[in-house]
Each structure stands twice: as C-alpha cells, then as structure tokens.
Amino acid sequence: MKMRGIYSSVTDIRRKVFTEVARLAYEEEDYARRITELPYKIVPGDVAVYRESIFLERAIVEERLRLAIGLPLRPIDEHRSVADGIEESAIAEKYYDPPLVNIINFACNACPETHFHVTDCCQGCLAHPCQEVCPKGAIKIMHGKSVIDQSKCIRCGRCSNVCPYNAINKMERPCAKACGMDAIGSDEHGKAKIDYDKCVSCGMCLVSCPFGAIVDKGQIFQLITAMKKGKKVIAIVAPAFVGQFGPKATPEKITAAMKKLGFADVTEVAIGADLCSIEEAKDFMREVPQYQPFMATSCCPAWSVMAKKLFPDLAPYISMALTPMVLTARMIKKDNPDACIAFIGPCAAKKLEASRRTIRSDVDFVLTFEELMGMFQAKSVRFEDISDDEAVELKEGTGDGRGFAVSGGVAKAVENVIHRLDPDREVKVASAQGLKECRKLLTLAKAGKYNGYLLEGMACPGGCVAGAGTLQPVEKSAALVNKYVKEAPVSNSIDSQYEINLNFITEK
C-alpha cells in the first residue's frame, strides 16, 4: 500500500495506454497498423528512460496495449504481431477471457521471496541480541557483523524485532505482500507467478508492483465499439467516484462529461447499494441467530469469493443478496431492456463478477475509474470546460448507499435499516479490510467468536476507495466520500425512492 496515491512512471505509462486504446477505438480506422505505432508514441525517442533498454520498454507497452483491449499475452517463444486478434476484438459484446490478472514475464524483476537481510546499519554490537534470540542458530558474527544463514532461517522475525539499530530488514516481494490469498509464488526463473486457483482478482498486486509487471484486462475497446455501433450504453457509477476526477468534477458535471463520451445516461450505483442494504437487513433479521450463527455481507466480490474458497463451510452464511452493481443494472434494464450497462468503478474484481454466466445478461461492460479517465483524455473532455448549464442531475442514492465506498459503510447501512425495521433489536457488527484481515475475521467466526454478528469484509484496505482502479490517494478519497454522504438529502437506505423496484429485480 506504500505506493498508493503516488503518481509514478508506472502510473503514467498505464494511463497513457488507456488513453491511446480509447483514442484508437473512437477513431475507428486501420486498427492493426495504428496499434503497432502506439508503443513509439507512448515511449518516444531513442534513449531508454525507465529501463535498461527502450526496446524492452516498448515490448512491455505492447503487452499492456493488448491486455487493455482484452487480448491475451503473446507467447514469448514465438513471433506474433502486437495486432494479432485486434480486428476480432473490435466488437460490441465481449467478456473477459481468463485469466483476468496477468504477469508480463519480461517486465518482472524476479524480486527475491521473503527473507531477512542484515543491512550496513549493523554495528556488530557486543550484546548481539539477534544471535541470542534465533531459535535455529541461523545467525553468526563474521568480521564483526551479523550474518544470516538463509538455509537455517525460518523467517520468524525475532532477530529483526530485537535489533537496537533496526539493521535487519524483512525483504518481501511487493506483489506477494499485497496478496491476501498467498496466490503469488515464483516460476523456475524466479519470476512472479499467480496461482489462479487461489487468486480472487482483487487487483492489489497490480497496484503494488513497482515494475508495472502485473496488468488486468480491459473492455474500453469493446465499450466504445458498442457506442459507435449505435447501442444505447447506460453507465452506472460506483459511489467511490466522488473526487476521483479532480475538484472540478462535481457529480452533475461527471454526468455531462460522460454524455460527451457517448453514454446515453448515467446512474449512481448507490441506488443499488440502498436496495442491497434493505435485502441484507431482511436476510439478517430472518436468519440470525435462528437458522445461522452470523451473516456476512455480499457486495465485495473478492471478499465473497475468498470466503467461499477458503471457508466453504461458511459459504451459506454469506448473504444471498445481489450486489449493488447487479441490482442497479437490473433496475435500469427493467425500463431499458435493449440497453447495454457499463459499470464504472474502482474495482478489478467487478470485472470477474460481471463475467459470471448469471451476471452477463445484467452487466455488459466493467471499466475502472482509470480506464474512464483514459476515455476523457482521448476525447479531450475537460471538467473545467463544462458549464453549469450543461450539468445534469445524477440519480441519487441515500447517504448510507453512498457510504458503501468506505470500509465499515456497508455494515453501517444494513445496521441502520435493521434499527428502522426493529428499533429494539441489538445488532453486533465486526468488519475487516484487506484480505489478510478478512481471513482472520472468518477464522474467528468459524471458531464461534462472532455468533450473532453482522460481518463486513472488504478486500481492499480502506474499502472501495482503495480499489485497484482508483485515481486518488485513499485517505483523500475516503474524506470526500464521507462529505458526500453527509450531503445526501436522505440518509437511511430504507427511505430510498427506488425501493419499490426491489421485489421485481430480485425475483427476475
């Protein structure tokens, strides 16, 4: 999480790729030729800036372009053009082909796996507490300095904890450290490798890799193609959007800006969050504790999939309520059956959720805020150029629906609905953020520590505002969402004006 909110060269290249893919789709001409030119536009000149070779950097950009279009990585051991498959991808209907999250092998630095390392800060002190506390005798004093025998070390960290000079560092591969599923290991060459049986596509690895070697697939190309073919594309925007596009991007101006991109209409997913709160409140009141010991929320797909993978016995205790994305999409398709729905949000895992066969008919495209920003830049849409007269009112959710974007907000919304339906009922709540903490939460729940509780899990530390597709620092985004929550004309989800749609869209 240390890199989040810092605009780096990795961030710059990633966003340039999204912009150029969007521009390529909008201009709709000679895709195969133009994509071969884009690496030279994104990485210009003849002198390497980021890596040892400009040719390597351009080769990496080629793979990034392919993934942004939804194409697979090319095999390293055979020649294939960067344009291979691009014409077939210029279609209005295409779902993500697995795997969603990919490692560009030759961009990976082959970072060492977890180990403890003695730095030059070691003073060779007389007490040598590191040696005294090591349970395996892995530390020796050589030439007046501590040395760790890695073949004996069990990575317990006791030496690091007792060193008075903080001279012993825990070295961790950043992507593996960020992965709460322990899904990242090494191949035979020491390069990072994803175990897709464990991966839940939360995306924390791709925003934690300082070499930009991990990339998820995109649908920008197909979304714009659908617009250009005359399809009615309606955007549904996750509550975490507040502040993502800068101080000039008010909710009303975002709607106007998105219409300039070709969207027919824009709706706030906080509406679906309100409906989800009501459904989960009813689930909890009906099931806990009479039929099940506790209930966990369902809106974060990475949390939900993690629970089902690692704690299959607890899977029945995850709420069966549809996610805010799906509830909002169904509500819109009720009145616009021929429309395509594009979810715009902070989350990589939503791309995986939308690919499920049960969801495909509801949500046609999933883009992140970063990918949407690429579309704005490709079309030269600037929020400061949008007048107040052009601003369009966004269909609003309640304050509690908007609060889904920050950690603790989902459980709070559900709790508030329960208190309205049954004021005398006590609701005990526990929440966790980040998959490592979520695993601890469910381990305790399995042991009976949370009987009678409502549990909330968020895969990203900080909640949706910390998703892999966000543009702003987490703390700033959380503060802006909390302000937006307070400004809502209605606070409790049960007061949503859209509640009347609930029975229809959940029974569909």
Same domain, 179 and 251: no
Same domain, 144 and 287: no
Contacts of 20 (CB under 8 A, 6+ apart): 38, 41, 42, 65, 374, 378
Q: Supply the CATH number for residue 59's domain.
A: 3.30.70.20
Same domain, 99 and 199: yes
Rounded mean pLDDT, 432-447: 97
State how far the Cα of 408 lies from the Cα of 458, in Å rounded to an integer.
Answer: 9
Q: How many Cβ atoms sit within 10 Å of the Cβ of residue 479?
A: 15
Final residue of a structural domain among 188, 221, 254: 221
Same domain, 132 and 67: no
How far is CA 499 from each of CA 276, 331, 502, rounded to the nearest angstrom?
Answer: 10, 10, 5
* pLDDT at residue 458 is higher than 50: yes
CB 162 within 8 A of CB 130: yes
Strand 453-458 with 428-433, pairing: parallel
CB 319 within 8 A of CB 297: yes
Residue 79 falls inside a structural domain: no
Q: Would you list the DSSP string of 68-105?
A: HHTPPPPPTTS---TTTTHHHH-SS--PPPSPSEEE-G
* pLDDT at residue 502 is higher than 90: no
Same domain, 283 and 236: yes
Portion of the chain with pLDDT greater than 70, in percent: 99
Tell me how many degrees the CA angle 439-418-420 measures, rounded to the nearest 5: 150
How does pLDDT run across 194-242, given as a tens digit for each residue? 999 999 999 999 999 999 999 999 999 999 999 999 999 999 999 999 9
Same domain, 478 and 359: yes
Final residue of a structural domain among 137, 153, 171: 171
Residue 103 falls inside a structural domain: yes
Query: Residue 14 belongs to what domain range?
Result: 9-72+84-110+175-221
Final residue of a structural domain among 151, 171, 191: 171
State how far the Cα of 267 lies from the Cα of 250, in Å rounded to an integer.
Answer: 14
Residue 16 falls inside a structural domain: yes
Residue 2 falls inside a structural domain: no
pLDDT of residue 392: 77
How does pLDDT run across 268-311, given as a tens digit for each residue? 999 999 999 999 999 999 999 999 999 999 899 999 999 999 99
Same domain, 291 and 435: yes
Q: Which residue in 23, 124, 9, 6 sits closest to 378, CA to CA?
A: 23
Same domain, 367 and 273: yes
Same domain, 194 and 332: no
Residue 295 falls inside a structural domain: yes
CA torsion 244→246→248→253, rounded to 10°? Answer: -30
Same domain, 210 and 329: no
Q: Which residue in 176, 402, 130 sits closest to 273, CA to CA?
A: 402
Residue 451 falls inside a structural domain: yes
How does pLDDT run across 41-64, given as a tens digit for each residue? 999 999 999 898 999 999 999 999
Confidence of residue 508 (pLDDT cuts 50, 70, 90): very low
Residue 484 falls inside a structural domain: yes
How does pLDDT run across 121-156, given as a tens digit for each residue? 999 999 999 999 999 999 999 999 999 999 999 999
Number of domains into which the chain is organized? 3
How does pLDDT run across 332-380, given as a tens digit for each residue? 999 999 999 999 999 999 999 998 888 888 999 999 999 999 999 999 9
Q: What long-range pairs does 54-57 form, CB within 8 A, spacing at least 24?
A: 56/106
Same domain, 472 and 403: yes
Report the number of secondary-structure helices (H) and strands (E) in the chain: 19, 15
State how far the Cα of 496 lies from the Cα of 176, in Å rounded to an integer.
Answer: 41
Residue 226 falls inside a structural domain: no
pLDDT of residue 507: 59
pLDDT of residue 359: 83
- Identify residue 14 by its one-letter amino acid code: R
Same domain, 365 and 311: yes
